[in-house]
Structure 1
Amino acid sequence: MSATTAIGPIVIPAPSTGITTLPVLDLITGRARTGAYGPDPATLRIALAFSTVQAVRHPGRTRGYRNEVLSLRLGAAVGSCAVEPGELPAATVTDCVGATVGELLDHPGTAVRVAALDAYLGHCRPHAPAYGARRFGLPAGSSLVKSRVRAAAVVGLLPLAAVRRVLVVGVVNSLLEQLRSHGVDYRACDLKGGTTEWDEPVHTDALAHLDDCDAILASGMTLGNGSLDPLLAHARATGKPLVLFAQTGSSVLPQLLGDGVTAVSAEPFPFFWLDGGPTVIHLYGGAGR
Protein backbone atom coordinates (compact mmCIF):
# COMPACT_ATOMS: atom_id res chain seq x y z
CA MET A 1 0.00 0.00 0.00
CA SER A 2 2.57 2.50 -1.07
CA ALA A 3 1.78 5.85 -2.58
CA THR A 4 2.97 7.95 -5.44
CA THR A 5 6.37 9.53 -5.96
CA ALA A 6 7.04 12.27 -3.43
CA ILE A 7 7.90 15.76 -4.64
CA GLY A 8 8.77 18.99 -2.88
CA PRO A 9 6.37 21.62 -1.54
CA ILE A 10 4.27 23.54 -4.03
CA VAL A 11 2.03 26.57 -3.71
CA ILE A 12 -1.37 25.62 -2.28
CA PRO A 13 -4.18 27.93 -1.17
CA ALA A 14 -5.07 28.10 2.52
CA PRO A 15 -8.72 28.37 3.47
CA SER A 16 -8.50 31.80 5.08
CA THR A 17 -5.23 33.49 4.14
CA GLY A 18 -5.05 33.18 0.35
CA ILE A 19 -1.77 31.59 -0.76
CA THR A 20 0.82 29.66 1.22
CA THR A 21 3.80 27.54 0.29
CA LEU A 22 3.34 25.32 3.35
CA PRO A 23 2.91 21.60 2.74
CA VAL A 24 -0.32 20.32 4.23
CA LEU A 25 1.47 18.65 7.17
CA ASP A 26 3.07 21.95 8.18
CA LEU A 27 -0.18 23.81 7.60
CA ILE A 28 -2.21 21.64 9.99
CA THR A 29 0.66 21.48 12.50
CA GLY A 30 0.74 25.27 12.56
CA ARG A 31 -2.97 25.38 13.29
CA ALA A 32 -2.49 22.88 16.13
CA ARG A 33 0.26 25.02 17.67
CA THR A 34 -1.97 28.10 17.65
CA GLY A 35 -4.82 26.36 19.49
CA ALA A 36 -7.17 25.82 16.55
CA TYR A 37 -7.99 22.28 17.66
CA GLY A 38 -7.43 22.24 21.41
CA PRO A 39 -4.70 22.42 24.05
CA ASP A 40 -1.09 23.34 23.38
CA PRO A 41 0.72 20.24 22.01
CA ALA A 42 3.63 21.11 24.30
CA THR A 43 1.45 20.28 27.34
CA LEU A 44 0.66 16.70 26.25
CA ARG A 45 3.02 13.71 26.49
CA ILE A 46 3.16 10.45 24.57
CA ALA A 47 3.15 7.55 27.04
CA LEU A 48 3.21 4.64 24.58
CA ALA A 49 4.79 4.07 21.19
CA PHE A 50 4.88 0.90 19.10
CA SER A 51 5.37 -0.36 15.57
CA THR A 52 3.37 -2.98 13.69
CA VAL A 53 4.77 -5.08 10.85
CA GLN A 54 2.45 -7.04 8.58
CA ALA A 55 2.75 -9.27 5.54
CA VAL A 56 -0.27 -10.67 3.71
CA ARG A 57 -1.31 -12.52 0.61
CA HIS A 58 -5.02 -13.19 0.48
CA PRO A 59 -6.21 -16.66 -0.57
CA GLY A 60 -6.97 -16.76 -4.28
CA ARG A 61 -4.72 -13.79 -5.07
CA THR A 62 -1.31 -14.09 -6.64
CA ARG A 63 0.30 -11.02 -5.08
CA GLY A 64 0.85 -9.90 -1.52
CA TYR A 65 2.29 -6.90 0.25
CA ARG A 66 3.98 -5.79 3.47
CA ASN A 67 3.22 -2.90 5.79
CA GLU A 68 5.03 -1.27 8.69
CA VAL A 69 3.25 1.31 10.84
CA LEU A 70 4.49 3.60 13.61
CA SER A 71 1.84 4.34 16.25
CA LEU A 72 1.81 6.75 19.19
CA ARG A 73 -0.80 6.73 21.95
CA LEU A 74 -2.15 9.86 23.60
CA GLY A 75 -4.87 9.09 26.11
CA ALA A 76 -7.49 7.02 24.29
CA ALA A 77 -6.24 8.08 20.84
CA VAL A 78 -3.68 6.26 18.72
CA GLY A 79 -2.00 8.16 15.90
CA SER A 80 -0.31 6.25 13.09
CA CYS A 81 1.89 6.64 10.05
CA ALA A 82 2.83 3.85 7.65
CA VAL A 83 6.41 3.64 6.40
CA GLU A 84 8.16 1.46 3.88
CA PRO A 85 9.20 -1.77 5.65
CA GLY A 86 12.65 -1.43 7.18
CA GLU A 87 12.79 2.38 6.90
CA LEU A 88 12.00 3.15 10.53
CA PRO A 89 15.17 3.54 12.65
CA ALA A 90 15.28 1.02 15.49
CA ALA A 91 15.44 3.67 18.22
CA THR A 92 12.40 5.61 17.03
CA VAL A 93 9.83 3.92 19.24
CA THR A 94 11.94 4.37 22.37
CA ASP A 95 12.79 7.97 21.51
CA CYS A 96 9.10 8.91 21.26
CA VAL A 97 8.08 7.64 24.68
CA GLY A 98 7.82 10.40 27.25
CA ALA A 99 8.26 13.20 24.73
CA THR A 100 5.67 15.93 24.40
CA VAL A 101 3.56 16.12 21.27
CA GLY A 102 5.09 19.53 20.68
CA GLU A 103 8.57 18.05 20.68
CA LEU A 104 7.57 15.26 18.31
CA LEU A 105 6.02 17.74 15.90
CA ASP A 106 9.59 19.03 15.45
CA HIS A 107 11.09 15.54 15.02
CA PRO A 108 13.34 15.09 11.96
CA GLY A 109 11.40 11.97 10.93
CA THR A 110 8.26 12.68 8.92
CA ALA A 111 6.60 9.48 10.18
CA VAL A 112 7.01 10.65 13.77
CA ARG A 113 5.57 14.08 12.97
CA VAL A 114 2.56 12.54 11.20
CA ALA A 115 1.88 10.01 13.97
CA ALA A 116 2.21 12.70 16.65
CA LEU A 117 -0.17 15.07 14.84
CA ASP A 118 -2.58 12.20 14.23
CA ALA A 119 -2.55 11.25 17.92
CA TYR A 120 -3.06 14.88 18.94
CA LEU A 121 -6.03 15.40 16.62
CA GLY A 122 -7.51 12.02 17.57
CA HIS A 123 -7.31 13.15 21.18
CA CYS A 124 -8.76 16.63 20.54
CA ARG A 125 -11.23 15.77 17.77
CA PRO A 126 -12.21 12.10 18.08
CA HIS A 127 -14.12 10.44 15.26
CA ALA A 128 -17.66 11.34 16.26
CA PRO A 129 -20.84 12.76 14.71
CA ALA A 130 -20.04 16.13 16.30
CA TYR A 131 -17.08 16.37 13.94
CA GLY A 132 -18.87 14.94 10.91
CA ALA A 133 -17.96 11.25 11.26
CA ARG A 134 -20.31 8.38 10.43
CA ARG A 135 -19.46 4.99 11.95
CA PHE A 136 -19.31 2.11 9.49
CA GLY A 137 -18.92 -1.38 10.90
CA LEU A 138 -16.73 -4.01 9.31
CA PRO A 139 -17.89 -7.55 10.08
CA ALA A 140 -15.91 -10.30 11.71
CA GLY A 141 -14.11 -12.45 9.19
CA SER A 142 -10.93 -12.99 7.26
CA SER A 143 -8.70 -10.13 6.19
CA LEU A 144 -10.00 -10.51 2.63
CA VAL A 145 -13.66 -10.37 3.72
CA LYS A 146 -13.03 -7.23 5.75
CA SER A 147 -10.93 -5.67 2.99
CA ARG A 148 -13.76 -6.09 0.49
CA VAL A 149 -16.39 -4.61 2.81
CA ARG A 150 -14.12 -1.67 3.54
CA ALA A 151 -13.46 -1.21 -0.17
CA ALA A 152 -17.17 -1.02 -0.93
CA ALA A 153 -17.59 1.72 1.68
CA VAL A 154 -14.59 3.68 0.40
CA VAL A 155 -15.58 3.50 -3.27
CA GLY A 156 -19.11 4.52 -2.26
CA LEU A 157 -17.70 7.90 -1.23
CA LEU A 158 -17.03 8.69 -4.90
CA PRO A 159 -19.75 10.21 -7.13
CA LEU A 160 -19.63 7.09 -9.29
CA ALA A 161 -22.37 8.12 -11.71
CA ALA A 162 -20.34 11.17 -12.71
CA VAL A 163 -16.92 9.51 -12.79
CA ARG A 164 -15.33 8.27 -16.00
CA ARG A 165 -11.86 7.36 -14.71
CA VAL A 166 -10.33 7.40 -11.21
CA LEU A 167 -6.69 8.02 -10.38
CA VAL A 168 -5.94 5.47 -7.64
CA VAL A 169 -2.84 6.41 -5.64
CA GLY A 170 -1.75 3.55 -3.42
CA VAL A 171 -2.86 0.25 -4.93
CA VAL A 172 -5.25 -1.89 -2.91
CA ASN A 173 -6.66 -4.65 -5.07
CA SER A 174 -9.99 -4.73 -3.22
CA LEU A 175 -10.53 -1.08 -4.17
CA LEU A 176 -9.71 -1.79 -7.80
CA GLU A 177 -12.06 -4.77 -7.68
CA GLN A 178 -14.85 -2.48 -6.45
CA LEU A 179 -14.26 0.07 -9.20
CA ARG A 180 -14.31 -2.72 -11.78
CA SER A 181 -17.62 -4.00 -10.39
CA HIS A 182 -19.12 -0.54 -10.99
CA GLY A 183 -17.71 -0.38 -14.52
CA VAL A 184 -15.46 2.56 -13.61
CA ASP A 185 -12.08 2.87 -15.32
CA TYR A 186 -8.95 3.72 -13.30
CA ARG A 187 -5.25 4.41 -13.45
CA ALA A 188 -3.43 2.48 -10.74
CA CYS A 189 -0.37 4.23 -9.25
CA ASP A 190 2.06 3.07 -6.58
CA LEU A 191 5.70 3.69 -5.75
CA LYS A 192 6.45 0.00 -6.10
CA GLY A 193 5.18 -0.18 -9.68
CA GLY A 194 4.53 -3.67 -11.04
CA THR A 195 1.11 -4.90 -12.08
CA THR A 196 -2.33 -5.24 -10.53
CA GLU A 197 -4.08 -8.52 -9.83
CA TRP A 198 -5.47 -8.24 -13.37
CA ASP A 199 -2.03 -7.72 -14.95
CA GLU A 200 -2.61 -4.02 -15.56
CA PRO A 201 0.44 -1.75 -15.25
CA VAL A 202 0.91 0.10 -11.97
CA HIS A 203 2.33 3.53 -12.75
CA THR A 204 4.94 5.11 -10.48
CA ASP A 205 4.26 8.73 -11.49
CA ALA A 206 0.70 9.59 -10.47
CA LEU A 207 1.06 13.25 -11.43
CA ALA A 208 1.52 12.31 -15.07
CA HIS A 209 -2.03 10.88 -15.09
CA LEU A 210 -3.91 13.60 -13.21
CA ASP A 211 -5.28 15.23 -16.36
CA ASP A 212 -6.50 11.86 -17.68
CA CYS A 213 -8.75 11.26 -14.66
CA ASP A 214 -11.79 13.06 -13.28
CA ALA A 215 -11.56 11.86 -9.66
CA ILE A 216 -8.77 10.93 -7.26
CA LEU A 217 -8.77 8.10 -4.71
CA ALA A 218 -5.61 8.26 -2.60
CA SER A 219 -4.10 6.48 0.38
CA GLY A 220 -3.29 8.34 3.58
CA MET A 221 0.30 7.31 2.95
CA THR A 222 0.50 10.29 0.59
CA LEU A 223 0.52 12.46 3.74
CA GLY A 224 3.51 10.54 5.09
CA ASN A 225 5.63 10.78 1.94
CA GLY A 226 4.74 14.36 0.99
CA SER A 227 2.92 13.52 -2.22
CA LEU A 228 -0.52 14.64 -1.03
CA ASP A 229 0.28 18.29 -1.74
CA PRO A 230 0.18 18.17 -5.56
CA LEU A 231 -2.93 15.98 -5.52
CA LEU A 232 -4.66 18.43 -3.21
CA ALA A 233 -3.57 21.41 -5.29
CA HIS A 234 -4.95 19.75 -8.44
CA ALA A 235 -8.28 18.98 -6.75
CA ARG A 236 -8.56 22.55 -5.48
CA ALA A 237 -7.76 24.01 -8.89
CA THR A 238 -10.07 21.74 -10.89
CA GLY A 239 -12.86 20.87 -8.47
CA LYS A 240 -12.29 17.15 -9.06
CA PRO A 241 -13.45 14.86 -6.24
CA LEU A 242 -10.57 13.82 -3.96
CA VAL A 243 -11.38 10.89 -1.66
CA LEU A 244 -8.80 9.69 0.89
CA PHE A 245 -8.69 6.28 2.55
CA ALA A 246 -6.58 6.69 5.64
CA GLN A 247 -4.95 4.51 8.22
CA THR A 248 -2.02 6.94 8.16
CA GLY A 249 -3.24 10.29 9.45
CA SER A 250 -6.83 9.17 9.93
CA SER A 251 -7.52 12.11 12.26
CA VAL A 252 -5.43 14.58 10.27
CA LEU A 253 -7.03 14.25 6.85
CA PRO A 254 -10.65 15.03 7.87
CA GLN A 255 -9.37 18.52 8.72
CA LEU A 256 -9.07 19.10 4.95
CA LEU A 257 -12.72 18.42 4.16
CA GLY A 258 -14.10 21.25 2.07
CA ASP A 259 -10.58 22.45 1.36
CA GLY A 260 -9.89 20.26 -1.66
CA VAL A 261 -10.87 16.96 0.00
CA THR A 262 -14.43 15.78 -0.63
CA ALA A 263 -14.51 12.63 1.52
CA VAL A 264 -12.37 10.57 3.90
CA SER A 265 -12.52 6.98 5.08
CA ALA A 266 -10.71 7.22 8.43
CA GLU A 267 -9.48 4.01 9.99
CA PRO A 268 -7.59 4.48 13.26
CA PHE A 269 -5.74 1.68 15.02
CA PRO A 270 -6.58 -1.22 15.31
CA PHE A 271 -6.76 -1.67 11.55
CA PHE A 272 -9.01 -4.27 9.92
CA TRP A 273 -6.06 -6.53 9.15
CA LEU A 274 -5.11 -6.79 12.83
CA ASP A 275 -8.43 -7.99 14.22
CA GLY A 276 -10.63 -10.82 12.98
CA GLY A 277 -13.59 -9.53 14.97
CA PRO A 278 -15.87 -6.60 14.17
CA THR A 279 -14.05 -3.28 13.69
CA VAL A 280 -15.07 0.24 12.71
CA ILE A 281 -14.09 2.81 10.14
CA HIS A 282 -15.36 6.39 10.10
CA LEU A 283 -16.71 8.03 6.95
CA TYR A 284 -16.67 11.78 6.31
CA GLY A 285 -18.38 13.56 3.43
CA GLY A 286 -18.96 11.66 0.22
CA ALA A 287 -21.31 11.54 -2.73
CA GLY A 288 -24.59 13.31 -2.06
CA ARG A 289 -23.44 14.82 1.25
Structure 2
Amino acid sequence: MPPADSGPAEGRPPAPAEGRPPAPAESRPSVPATITREQLERVIRRASDLQFRSSTAVDGSIGSRDVVQIGAEVGLEERHVRQALAEVEAASLLPATPADTGLARRLCGPAIVSASRVAPGSPDDIDVNLEPYLSEKELLRRVRSRPGRSLWEPAAGLVPQMRRGLDFGGRGYTLAKARSLQVVTEPLENGWSLVTLTADMTNVRTEHLGGWFGGMTVGGIAGGLGLTLATGGGILPILGGVAIFSGCIGVATVSARSTMAKFRQRMELSLQGLLDRLESGEDLAGAREPWHQKLPW
Protein backbone atom coordinates (compact mmCIF):
# COMPACT_ATOMS: atom_id res chain seq x y z
CA MET A 1 0.00 0.00 0.00
CA PRO A 2 1.26 3.51 -0.73
CA PRO A 3 2.22 5.55 2.32
CA ALA A 4 -0.30 8.09 3.63
CA ASP A 5 0.16 11.59 2.38
CA SER A 6 1.64 13.49 5.32
CA GLY A 7 1.82 16.91 3.65
CA PRO A 8 2.60 18.67 0.45
CA ALA A 9 5.53 17.45 -1.56
CA GLU A 10 8.65 19.48 -1.65
CA GLY A 11 8.54 22.31 -4.13
CA ARG A 12 4.80 22.00 -4.56
CA PRO A 13 2.53 24.81 -3.20
CA PRO A 14 -0.13 23.76 -0.72
CA ALA A 15 -3.57 23.05 -2.12
CA PRO A 16 -6.09 25.90 -1.69
CA ALA A 17 -8.59 25.61 1.14
CA GLU A 18 -12.17 24.76 0.44
CA GLY A 19 -14.09 27.57 -1.17
CA ARG A 20 -12.94 30.25 -3.48
CA PRO A 21 -9.14 30.41 -3.78
CA PRO A 22 -7.51 33.74 -2.96
CA ALA A 23 -6.78 35.95 -5.90
CA PRO A 24 -3.13 36.33 -6.85
CA ALA A 25 -1.52 39.45 -5.44
CA GLU A 26 -0.88 40.86 -8.88
CA SER A 27 -4.61 40.56 -9.80
CA ARG A 28 -6.01 42.34 -6.74
CA PRO A 29 -7.29 45.89 -7.29
CA SER A 30 -4.91 48.59 -6.26
CA VAL A 31 -5.92 50.89 -3.41
CA PRO A 32 -5.34 54.63 -3.91
CA ALA A 33 -3.29 56.45 -1.32
CA THR A 34 -5.83 59.27 -0.95
CA ILE A 35 -9.47 59.71 -1.94
CA THR A 36 -11.85 62.65 -2.20
CA ARG A 37 -14.91 63.26 -0.04
CA GLU A 38 -17.20 62.12 -2.84
CA GLN A 39 -15.18 58.94 -3.28
CA LEU A 40 -15.33 58.33 0.48
CA GLU A 41 -19.13 58.42 0.39
CA ARG A 42 -19.14 55.98 -2.52
CA VAL A 43 -16.73 53.63 -0.73
CA ILE A 44 -18.78 53.60 2.47
CA ARG A 45 -22.01 53.09 0.56
CA ARG A 46 -20.57 50.24 -1.50
CA ALA A 47 -18.84 48.55 1.44
CA SER A 48 -22.00 48.68 3.54
CA ASP A 49 -23.98 47.24 0.65
CA LEU A 50 -21.56 44.34 0.33
CA GLN A 51 -21.48 43.63 4.07
CA PHE A 52 -25.18 43.86 4.82
CA ARG A 53 -26.62 42.51 1.59
CA SER A 54 -27.63 39.28 3.27
CA SER A 55 -29.35 41.05 6.19
CA THR A 56 -31.36 43.60 4.22
CA ALA A 57 -35.08 43.35 3.66
CA VAL A 58 -36.71 42.32 0.40
CA ASP A 59 -37.11 45.95 -0.66
CA GLY A 60 -33.39 46.61 -0.13
CA SER A 61 -33.78 48.70 3.02
CA ILE A 62 -31.36 48.60 5.95
CA GLY A 63 -32.42 48.87 9.58
CA SER A 64 -31.35 51.82 11.68
CA ARG A 65 -29.30 49.54 13.95
CA ASP A 66 -27.33 48.36 10.93
CA VAL A 67 -26.74 51.97 9.89
CA VAL A 68 -25.42 52.78 13.36
CA GLN A 69 -23.16 49.71 13.19
CA ILE A 70 -21.85 50.76 9.79
CA GLY A 71 -21.07 54.21 11.16
CA ALA A 72 -19.23 52.72 14.13
CA GLU A 73 -17.12 50.53 11.86
CA VAL A 74 -16.03 53.51 9.78
CA GLY A 75 -15.25 55.59 12.86
CA LEU A 76 -18.39 57.75 13.12
CA GLU A 77 -19.82 58.61 16.52
CA GLU A 78 -23.23 57.14 17.24
CA ARG A 79 -24.79 60.51 18.12
CA HIS A 80 -23.80 61.92 14.74
CA VAL A 81 -25.19 58.90 12.90
CA ARG A 82 -28.46 59.10 14.81
CA GLN A 83 -28.77 62.82 14.11
CA ALA A 84 -28.23 62.14 10.41
CA LEU A 85 -30.95 59.47 10.56
CA ALA A 86 -33.29 61.94 12.24
CA GLU A 87 -32.61 64.51 9.52
CA VAL A 88 -33.40 61.97 6.82
CA GLU A 89 -36.64 61.10 8.59
CA ALA A 90 -37.45 64.78 9.03
CA ALA A 91 -37.32 65.44 5.29
CA SER A 92 -40.81 63.95 4.94
CA LEU A 93 -42.18 66.02 7.84
CA LEU A 94 -41.38 69.50 6.52
CA PRO A 95 -44.52 71.67 6.58
CA ALA A 96 -45.81 73.12 3.35
CA THR A 97 -44.58 76.64 2.59
CA PRO A 98 -47.38 79.24 2.44
CA ALA A 99 -48.48 80.17 -1.06
CA ASP A 100 -46.82 83.23 -2.53
CA THR A 101 -48.09 84.15 -5.98
CA GLY A 102 -49.03 87.26 -7.90
CA LEU A 103 -47.43 90.21 -9.63
CA ALA A 104 -45.45 91.28 -6.56
CA ARG A 105 -43.62 87.95 -6.47
CA ARG A 106 -42.74 88.16 -10.15
CA LEU A 107 -41.40 91.67 -9.70
CA CYS A 108 -39.50 91.32 -6.40
CA GLY A 109 -39.14 87.59 -5.83
CA PRO A 110 -40.58 85.49 -2.98
CA ALA A 111 -41.50 87.03 0.36
CA ILE A 112 -41.48 83.72 2.28
CA VAL A 113 -38.25 82.49 3.87
CA SER A 114 -38.19 79.10 5.58
CA ALA A 115 -35.41 77.20 7.35
CA SER A 116 -35.44 73.81 9.09
CA ARG A 117 -33.10 71.97 11.40
CA VAL A 118 -33.09 68.91 13.64
CA ALA A 119 -32.50 69.97 17.25
CA PRO A 120 -32.27 68.06 20.53
CA GLY A 121 -35.31 68.05 22.80
CA SER A 122 -39.03 67.48 22.55
CA PRO A 123 -41.37 70.04 20.93
CA ASP A 124 -42.41 71.22 24.41
CA ASP A 125 -38.76 71.70 25.42
CA ILE A 126 -38.05 73.74 22.30
CA ASP A 127 -41.17 75.86 22.81
CA VAL A 128 -40.16 76.62 26.40
CA ASN A 129 -36.70 77.54 25.16
CA LEU A 130 -37.90 79.77 22.32
CA GLU A 131 -40.79 81.62 24.01
CA PRO A 132 -38.80 84.01 26.24
CA TYR A 133 -36.17 84.55 23.56
CA LEU A 134 -38.67 85.58 20.89
CA SER A 135 -40.65 87.78 23.25
CA GLU A 136 -37.78 89.47 25.12
CA LYS A 137 -34.88 89.46 22.65
CA GLU A 138 -36.70 89.72 19.32
CA LEU A 139 -39.68 91.75 20.64
CA LEU A 140 -42.33 89.43 19.18
CA ARG A 141 -45.68 88.42 20.64
CA ARG A 142 -47.46 85.10 20.28
CA VAL A 143 -50.79 85.50 18.48
CA ARG A 144 -51.68 81.85 17.91
CA SER A 145 -50.63 78.66 19.63
CA ARG A 146 -51.40 75.01 18.97
CA PRO A 147 -49.51 71.84 19.85
CA GLY A 148 -46.32 71.95 17.82
CA ARG A 149 -47.24 75.24 16.10
CA SER A 150 -47.15 78.90 17.05
CA LEU A 151 -47.49 82.18 15.17
CA TRP A 152 -45.63 85.33 16.21
CA GLU A 153 -45.96 88.97 15.18
CA PRO A 154 -44.01 92.14 16.07
CA ALA A 155 -44.99 93.33 19.54
CA ALA A 156 -47.09 96.47 19.51
CA GLY A 157 -46.87 99.31 22.01
CA LEU A 158 -44.70 102.33 22.62
CA VAL A 159 -41.83 100.60 24.45
CA PRO A 160 -41.23 97.81 21.88
CA GLN A 161 -41.41 100.32 19.02
CA MET A 162 -38.93 102.63 20.73
CA ARG A 163 -36.55 99.76 21.46
CA ARG A 164 -36.66 98.63 17.86
CA GLY A 165 -36.27 102.18 16.59
CA LEU A 166 -33.40 103.21 18.86
CA ASP A 167 -31.71 99.77 18.85
CA PHE A 168 -28.98 100.69 21.32
CA GLY A 169 -27.54 97.18 21.31
CA GLY A 170 -27.29 96.96 17.51
CA ARG A 171 -29.41 93.81 17.35
CA GLY A 172 -31.20 94.88 14.18
CA TYR A 173 -34.43 93.06 15.22
CA THR A 174 -34.59 91.41 11.81
CA LEU A 175 -37.26 88.90 12.83
CA ALA A 176 -39.49 91.72 14.11
CA LYS A 177 -39.41 93.36 10.67
CA ALA A 178 -41.32 90.46 9.14
CA ARG A 179 -45.09 90.39 9.07
CA SER A 180 -45.17 87.12 11.00
CA LEU A 181 -42.96 84.24 12.12
CA GLN A 182 -44.31 80.70 12.21
CA VAL A 183 -42.64 78.06 14.40
CA VAL A 184 -43.42 74.40 13.71
CA THR A 185 -41.90 71.53 15.70
CA GLU A 186 -42.32 67.85 14.83
CA PRO A 187 -41.20 65.12 17.26
CA LEU A 188 -38.63 62.59 16.07
CA GLU A 189 -37.12 59.53 17.68
CA ASN A 190 -34.37 59.50 20.30
CA GLY A 191 -35.26 62.89 21.83
CA TRP A 192 -34.89 64.99 18.68
CA SER A 193 -37.32 67.36 16.99
CA LEU A 194 -37.57 68.97 13.60
CA VAL A 195 -37.83 72.77 13.96
CA THR A 196 -39.08 74.84 11.01
CA LEU A 197 -39.06 78.65 11.09
CA THR A 198 -41.02 80.47 8.38
CA ALA A 199 -40.93 84.27 8.03
CA ASP A 200 -43.60 86.10 6.02
CA MET A 201 -42.10 89.31 4.60
CA THR A 202 -44.96 90.48 2.38
CA ASN A 203 -45.07 93.74 4.32
CA VAL A 204 -41.41 94.45 3.55
CA ARG A 205 -41.92 93.65 -0.11
CA THR A 206 -44.94 95.96 -0.29
CA GLU A 207 -42.94 98.78 1.30
CA HIS A 208 -40.08 98.36 -1.16
CA LEU A 209 -42.41 98.23 -4.14
CA GLY A 210 -44.39 101.24 -2.98
CA GLY A 211 -41.30 103.30 -2.23
CA TRP A 212 -39.40 102.61 -5.44
CA PHE A 213 -42.39 102.67 -7.78
CA GLY A 214 -43.87 105.76 -6.15
CA GLY A 215 -40.66 107.73 -6.44
CA MET A 216 -39.83 106.57 -9.95
CA THR A 217 -43.38 107.11 -11.20
CA VAL A 218 -43.36 110.70 -10.00
CA GLY A 219 -39.92 111.17 -11.57
CA GLY A 220 -41.03 109.64 -14.87
CA ILE A 221 -44.16 111.76 -15.10
CA ALA A 222 -42.26 114.93 -14.25
CA GLY A 223 -39.58 114.13 -16.82
CA GLY A 224 -42.14 113.38 -19.51
CA LEU A 225 -44.12 116.56 -18.85
CA GLY A 226 -40.95 118.63 -18.72
CA LEU A 227 -39.80 117.26 -22.06
CA THR A 228 -43.20 117.90 -23.62
CA LEU A 229 -43.43 121.45 -22.34
CA ALA A 230 -39.85 122.24 -23.33
CA THR A 231 -40.33 121.11 -26.92
CA GLY A 232 -43.84 122.55 -27.36
CA GLY A 233 -45.62 119.23 -27.79
CA GLY A 234 -45.81 116.88 -30.72
CA ILE A 235 -45.57 113.15 -31.20
CA LEU A 236 -41.81 112.87 -30.66
CA PRO A 237 -41.81 114.58 -27.23
CA ILE A 238 -44.72 112.38 -26.18
CA LEU A 239 -42.82 109.27 -27.23
CA GLY A 240 -39.79 110.59 -25.39
CA GLY A 241 -41.87 111.12 -22.27
CA VAL A 242 -43.20 107.56 -22.52
CA ALA A 243 -39.63 106.28 -22.85
CA ILE A 244 -38.55 108.24 -19.76
CA PHE A 245 -41.51 106.91 -17.79
CA SER A 246 -40.82 103.32 -18.91
CA GLY A 247 -37.16 103.68 -17.96
CA CYS A 248 -38.08 104.89 -14.49
CA ILE A 249 -40.43 101.94 -14.02
CA GLY A 250 -37.65 99.57 -15.10
CA VAL A 251 -35.20 101.14 -12.64
CA ALA A 252 -37.82 100.87 -9.89
CA THR A 253 -38.35 97.16 -10.63
CA VAL A 254 -34.64 96.32 -10.61
CA SER A 255 -34.00 98.38 -7.47
CA ALA A 256 -36.94 96.91 -5.55
CA ARG A 257 -35.92 93.37 -6.50
CA SER A 258 -32.31 93.95 -5.45
CA THR A 259 -33.32 95.51 -2.13
CA MET A 260 -35.73 92.67 -1.41
CA ALA A 261 -33.10 90.05 -2.24
CA LYS A 262 -30.67 91.58 0.26
CA PHE A 263 -33.28 91.67 3.01
CA ARG A 264 -34.30 88.09 2.21
CA GLN A 265 -30.68 86.97 2.66
CA ARG A 266 -30.49 88.82 5.97
CA MET A 267 -33.69 87.18 7.18
CA GLU A 268 -32.47 83.72 6.18
CA LEU A 269 -29.20 84.34 8.01
CA SER A 270 -31.13 85.29 11.16
CA LEU A 271 -33.27 82.16 10.96
CA GLN A 272 -30.25 79.93 10.39
CA GLY A 273 -28.43 81.58 13.29
CA LEU A 274 -31.33 80.88 15.63
CA LEU A 275 -31.46 77.27 14.45
CA ASP A 276 -27.72 76.96 15.04
CA ARG A 277 -28.24 77.90 18.67
CA LEU A 278 -31.10 75.43 19.04
CA GLU A 279 -29.05 72.67 17.43
CA SER A 280 -26.17 73.26 19.82
CA GLY A 281 -28.55 72.95 22.78
CA GLU A 282 -28.03 76.53 23.96
CA ASP A 283 -30.31 77.64 26.78
CA LEU A 284 -32.04 80.60 25.16
CA ALA A 285 -34.51 80.90 28.00
CA GLY A 286 -31.73 81.49 30.51
CA ALA A 287 -30.08 84.26 28.50
CA ARG A 288 -32.42 87.06 29.57
CA GLU A 289 -31.62 90.74 29.30
CA PRO A 290 -30.98 92.76 32.46
CA TRP A 291 -33.82 95.07 33.42
CA HIS A 292 -31.91 98.25 32.53
CA GLN A 293 -31.48 97.06 28.92
CA LYS A 294 -35.23 96.98 28.52
CA LEU A 295 -35.50 100.72 29.03
CA PRO A 296 -35.93 102.77 25.83
CA TRP A 297 -33.19 105.24 26.78
With the length of structure 1 as denominator, give the TM-score of the two structures: 0.25
| RCO higher in structure (CA 8 A, sep ≥6) | 1
Greater gyration radius: 2
With the length of structure 2 as denominator, give the TM-score of the two structures: 0.24
Query: Which structure dedicates a bigger proportion of its chain to strand?
Result: 1
Query: Which structure dedicates a bigger proportion of its chain to helix?
Result: 2
